[in-house]
Amino acid sequence: MLILIDERGKKYLLNSDQDFHNDLGIIKKEDLQGSNAGDTLETHLGKHIKVVKADVNDLIELMQRRCSILLPKDIGIVISHTGLGCGDRVVDAGTGAGAIALHFANVVGNEGEVHSYEIREDFAQIAQSNIDQFQLDNVEIKNKDIKEGIDEEDVDLVFLDLPKPWEMLESVYGALKTGGWLAVYAPYIEQVQILHRIAKKVGFEEVTTIECILREIEVKVKGTRPKTRMVGHTGYLSFARKL
Amino acid sequence: MLILIDERGKKYLLNSDQDFHNDLGIIKKEDLQGSNAGDTLETHLGKHIKVVKADVNDLIELMQRRCSILLPKDIGIVISHTGLGCGDRVVDAGTGAGAIALHFANVVGNEGEVHSYEIREDFAQIAQSNIDQFQLDNVEIKNKDIKEGIDEEDVDLVFLDLPKPWEMLESVYGALKTGGWLAVYAPYIEQVQILHRIAKKVGFEEVTTIECILREIEVKVKGTRPKTRMVGHTGYLSFARKL
Amino acid sequence: MLILIDERGKKYLLNSDQDFHNDLGIIKKEDLQGSNAGDTLETHLGKHIKVVKADVNDLIELMQRRCSILLPKDIGIVISHTGLGCGDRVVDAGTGAGAIALHFANVVGNEGEVHSYEIREDFAQIAQSNIDQFQLDNVEIKNKDIKEGIDEEDVDLVFLDLPKPWEMLESVYGALKTGGWLAVYAPYIEQVQILHRIAKKVGFEEVTTIECILREIEVKVKGTRPKTRMVGHTGYLSFARKL
Amino acid sequence: MLILIDERGKKYLLNSDQDFHNDLGIIKKEDLQGSNAGDTLETHLGKHIKVVKADVNDLIELMQRRCSILLPKDIGIVISHTGLGCGDRVVDAGTGAGAIALHFANVVGNEGEVHSYEIREDFAQIAQSNIDQFQLDNVEIKNKDIKEGIDEEDVDLVFLDLPKPWEMLESVYGALKTGGWLAVYAPYIEQVQILHRIAKKVGFEEVTTIECILREIEVKVKGTRPKTRMVGHTGYLSFARKL
């Protein structure tokens, strides 16, 4: 998937079905159609616009509505801790605007599948339109309460970002492959405490919780230091494995 | 890929070409051949052994020699920050025992490729034997100094875990796709400072550095708290993009 | 020293030389003169105002101009790491508005002394007026460049919050008692690096640097969690001892 | 108070009532009696021994039995957050070996007082002998359960390091001066949750909890970095004020 980046760093999805136009000028669709990552196009006003291979973070940046979105630090740790890979089958809930589903879809690829449950119809629609826009065939948005049951089987990863993630642990356990992982994102420590108790009761093993504190380092001529302001807490990440 | 987990939690690669035997007994290769994730096999001594779908962390745990290995927290953030996905092309150096190459290979899948440079012959051999053991077709271990040049083109991610990562930034830049990422792991702040300067000079954009502090939370009957001892620092993660 | 706290939590210095009046009414100076910590006074409009024993943080909150002020976390660690106590002699530079001098004065008491160097005349005046307002006899504000020399001898603690703290380490060493401490606050890691080198050259021992990351915990009905936003970095604290 | 430091960095209390002798030789008491901080004495074997002004951390290092001891980072933040100063009156419980009482005594000085409650007789005796050894007149060790009541009044700071600090909050409230502070050290988040609820019920205001994560920075020729291993968690610090 390609995007355009103009001279100000602003990003746009490359859509070669129509001419591109913004306040810096117009590029004809014929020029867009033949372009590749690395090309620099010119608008009729002489402004330069780069064609760039989009990564998943670019797509999320271009999504229509973003709700509250998990930070890459938390998504990345879910991926590496559970060993999510190309071809895997994922269930996630709730979808929100679909950002985490995009990340999972990016990793599992076309041999894999992401089934994303969202109870709210408005969110499910936004997520669907985002998925459509990026032409992803491996994501299914389901406007359904995951508490009513998980339709999928032999799943490698179930990811829950819900107020009461402990309510559906039995069906999560049933849906997972042996060796598969449950990952839960929860901001409050009380959620973690209940989750541990129920997860063990349901039969999960290797139940652990971690928290990632991310610091950005400023490297300037004036000197090097961690940034003055930072995100203090997003959520706890809990993991449990079906063995 | 399947592994066996015995009653003590010890893990073994499932190799159905021969009988399995450890101190808990023997399982005949005929029984191994027909087994699936989720099955429980029994040794001739009546001990139970589970068949489990391995994740990449299981494989790394089973690797022959582990050298110093990047922690999942750092690997995960490299994956999510750069948007690494199924089908991507990766170059990494130095290979070490191949742990990070395994993580990358797991994400990029068979449509993708990992080319891993290692200057030391002994490490390259260990890494190759680990890759062979797991029958990965998408990883190439190269016993070559990456300073002499990068053979690959149109690469999505170049990952460097080397003492002087700034020495080959021009060839990294040349090897990357427009939109591709450089990611660098370096324990010392002096390395970060030099890297920022050279990366900008070479033409990289969005040059940033972060550090992930990971806390494990203990959830026990006695109470909930972060663990008393923790890893204080592994390395800084720096990112730069070719745009 | 007493302060008044009105029904909205607003604080005022108790000055019994004159009537107190704000928008909640008037309290006559005769009533103020006889009041003690714990009393509740009433304005002529029937509003309640409490008399409270001020702590040093109340005074700093009431200071005229606050410039950039060290956080209690950093001040406290300087005090406990160097074992600052009642009766000690302290030199600090630069003074700023005098907040850290107030903290030191609070600990060393009337048997101790704080000598605070400030190169800028405007800051020195502000600091002096703050000290006067709180009627502290144990703080001397000096409008002088500490690089020109330290007048005091047999000092227990020298605290430096300056851009180039390494420039005066020889005179700091001369001013300190054997067993006394140098403490330095510096935001950039480059400052720390130079400081370590020079401090060892000058003869200091036990040269160390620490950083304190402070997290506030929210305990609410909704749940318990670290705050979403936090201060990511204030400064590094370096210590060195004359032995 | 003076200590001796030998050529290996080993510390001893200077006791001028008798000759000093260790494996590096003997120093006669006459030589000790006339010595001052900064002097270098010589043993009869020609070894050098320095006379140094002890700080409170030296004394704690020399204490007979250390039990588990609060780290300076936590003690310092208690001091600075509550504005503890020279002349203040402190109650603490439980005493342990008396390390925190030593820190408080060091700050409040001879015009101040520290009353330290310890329920276990053996700990109280150890603490008493430590206090005696350092000839502190401003610390009273009480072998008494603080739950039975606090004898002191008009206290500036009550510090609790107990498994159930919420059990005596009413008597703490009664003992404190208006404007005085309660500070609580507790390792588990469950303790913090109960404490907040009870403290508010009893009438405390400004109830807050913080946690200090301390990182040590290594500055070496090889490079600068936070230490690989660190203390991940000691305890939460909660504060509440009587207003």
A vs C: CB pairs below 8 A: 63
pLDDT range class, residue A66, cuts 50, 70, 90: low
Q: Is the pLDDT of residue B49 over 90?
A: yes
Are residues D169 and D217 both part of a single domain? yes
Q: Which residue of A has its CA nearest to B178?
A: A38
* Mean of pLDDT over chain B: 95
Same domain, C64 and C181: yes
Best residue in C74, C233, C236, C237 for a mutation probing chain A (most A CBs within 10 Å): C233
Q: Do both A219 and A195 map to the same domain?
A: yes
B81 and A87 in contact by Cβ < 8 A? no
Q: What CATH number has the domain bearing residue B166? A: 3.40.50.150
User: Which residues of C fall within a CB distance of 8 Å from D48?
Assistant: none
| CATH code, domain carrying D47 | 3.10.330.20
In this prediction, residue B1 has a pLDDT band, given cuts at 50, 70 and 90, of confident
Please indicate, yes or no, whether residues D136 and D187 belong to a single structural domain of this protein.
yes
Beta-carbon separation of B225 and D233 below 8 A: yes
Q: What is the pLDDT of residues D4-44, one digit of tens each?
A: 999 998 999 999 899 999 999 999 999 999 899 899 999 99
The answer on B93 and B63 residing in a single domain is yes
Q: Would you call C82 and D55 a contact, using CB atoms and an 8 Å cutoff?
A: yes
Q: What is the Cα–Cα distance from B197 to C87, expressed in whole angstroms? A: 50
B177 and B197 assigned to the same domain: yes
Low-confidence ranges of chain D (pLDDT < 70): 65-66
Residue range(s) defining the domain that contains residue C10: 2-54
ipTM over 0.85: yes
Hey, are the CB atoms on D232 and B229 less than 8 Å from each other? yes
The backbone torsions φ and ψ at residue D202, rounded to the nearest 5 degrees and listed phi first, read -75, -20
Of B189, B207, B215, the CB nearest to A213: B215
Contacts of A216 in chain C (CB under 8 A): 232
Distance between CA A189 and CA B223 in Å, rounded? Answer: 11
d(CA A235, CA B149): 42
> pLDDT at position A63, please?
87
Tell me whether residues D188 and B224 touch, CB distance under 8 A.
yes
pLDDT reported for residue C119: 97
Tell me D38's DSSP state: T
- Find the mean pLDDT for residues A104-115: 97
DSSP state of D97: T
B91-128 pLDDT, tens per residue? 999 999 999 999 999 999 999 999 999 999 999 999 99
Chain C nearest-CA residue for D78: C76
Does the distance separating the beta carbons of A58 and B189 come in below 8 Å?
A: no
Total number of domains constituting chain C = 2
Kindly indicate the confidence band of residue B30, based on its pLDDT and cuts at 50, 70 and 90: very high
Whether residue A67 is predicted with pLDDT greater than 80 in this model: the reply is: no
Q: How many CB atoms sit inside 10 A of residue A47's CB?
A: 16
pTM for this structure?
0.95
Q: Say what percent of chain C tops pLDDT 70.
A: 99
CA D221-D223-D228 angle, 5° bins: 120
The DSSP output letter for D14 is -
**Pair D183, D73 in one domain:** yes
Both C153 and C46 in one domain: the answer is no
Q: If we measure between CA atoms, which residue out of B65, B63, B71, B3 comes closest to residue B36?
A: B3
In this structure, are A76 and A190 located in the same domain?
yes
Beta strands in chain A (DSSP E): 2-5, 11-13, 20-22, 25-27, 40-42, 48-53, 89-93, 113-117, 139-142, 155-160, 176-186, 205-220, 223-226, 229-231, 236-241
Same domain, B71 and B87: yes
Residue with tokens 């559970």: A82
Determine the residue among D36, D80, D215 to mutate to test chain C binding: the one whose Cβ has the most chain C Cβ atoms within 10 Å.
D80
Report strand pairing: B2-6 vs B11-13: antiparallel
Q: What is the dihedral of CA C56, C57, C62, C66, to 10 degrees?
A: 110
Whether the predicted pLDDT of B66 surpasses 80: no
Taking the CA of residue B63 and the nearest CA in chain A, the distance in Å comes to 15
Let me know whether A109 and A218 are in one domain: yes
Residue of chain C whose alpha carbon sits nearest to that of D108: C86
* Shared domain check, A50 and A101: no
Among the partner-chain residues B85, B196, B213, the one whose CB lies closest to the CB of A107 is: B85
